[in-house]
Amino acid sequence: MTVPPPSSAAAPVEDGSPSGARGGSGPLDGIVVLDLASVGPAARCTRMLADYGATVVKIGAVPGRGAEPIRPPFYAYSGARGLAHTAFDLKDPDGRSAFLALVRGADVVVESFRPGVMDRLGLGYGDLCAVNPRIILCSTTGFGQDGPRAAWAGHDINYLAVGGYLASTEPGADGGPPVSGATIADAAGGGMQAALAVVAALVGRGDDGPGTHLDVSIADGVLWLTSLAVDEHLATGAEVGFGRNIITGRFACYDTYQAADGRWVAVGAIEPKFYANLCRLLGCEQWIAHQHDDDVQDAIRTDFAAAFATRDRDEWIDLLSGADTCVSPVLTVAELIHDEQFTARGAIIDAGYGDGPRPDGAPSSFRQVGPVLAGMPGSGVPAVARDAGHSDTDALLAAAGLSADEIALLHEKGAVA
């Protein structure tokens, strides 16, 4: 099956609004991914695959049939740039058959249902292989397809909790584990893990090999993220966690400090030469020989804090950032979107709907984080956003070999939308 491109990205817009042109086809050009997830780690995975050039078809539920799906805001997941959309009633035999028609020409199916749901729908790995032996099924769940927690519901904070991340991070004012400022489990433990697993499976499948079923556990991904500490404990029996070593707050050389204007700097002067440079520029030369002396860390922090409090944050950055001190500003989101480094690398791009439909309340144009990861084409290039409610169903099913009459009958039955 050759999946047609999303209709709103068909041609450049002549009025100066974003055209959606890509910087290149991408290394995954020609790979077709069917995405049954609306939000969360699986949606992060397919966002990455799309930005590497894969054709991603988002498959939602037919409105009015079953539970109403989560509809993320227009700006989420990069505004659905470059994605195709359709809706099937997978509990209806005809809707399921229509989905399987797409599976015949696809490379990957990504889903995030609870374990067992795909089998109950008649869409388990065996069912998919029956129509396409080369299919890769990527099942992304909180705790994996088996084990005592497999049926548990959860979100990012739950996976960070069981994977050791929260207990390894600086406690809050009440002494309890903090709430993370980013969805680390969803994005890295889940989404990036799933995307890497899919790419590895594609390479392993080669030109003529069979597909596979990938069991992506987000909690397992967080365990891997904290594996340096876990492996240390397993190998040595040492207590690990916040304040136990240089990267978890034990020493003053790896910490954050407030400047005179109330803003903050981050210090990561791990190497002795960087630490010595920092001490000299802060006027704290007396501490150069005591970087790892536990008895004086409070005193070093006090002197560092007093020094940083004498100047505004950006004055310190001007002085320290180019002097091999490993000091950087703590940027808010409102600041980083104008940051000169990200600007120079084309990280923030313009996006808009061109002549295509747009969601209710969405502006005609906005800005977003572009395809910034290594090897993703299109960095700095304007993008065409898409209304996730707009349907490409007819074009997708026609490309899968269904006739106009067959497609019309599916619509009439409410099996597709």
Known catalytic residues are 155, 186
Residues 6+ apart with CB under 8 A from 208: none
Half-sphere exposure for 106 (CA within 13 Å, toward CB): 25
Listing DSSP states for 287-305 in one string gives GGGGTT-GGGHHHHHHHHH
Whether 365 contacts 17, CB under 8 Å = yes
Instruction: Report CA-CA distances (Å) from 58 to 32, 50, 116, 379.
Output: 11, 11, 21, 23
Identify whether the C-beta of residue 88 lies closer than 8 Å to the C-beta of residue 415: yes
The 3 state secondary structure assigned to 192-208 is HHHHHHHHHHHHHHCCC
DSSP-based three-state secondary structure for 264: strand
Strands 108-111 and 32-35: parallel
β-strands 264-268, 327-329: how paired? antiparallel
d(CA 417, CA 413): 10
Name the phi and psi angles at 46, rounded to 5: -70, -25
Give me the amino acid identity at 210: P
Cα–Cα distance between 255 and 304 in angstroms, integer? 10
Which tokens go with 347?
């990280």
- 268: Cα separation from own chain's centroid: 25
User: Tokens for 354?
Assistant: 């061109």
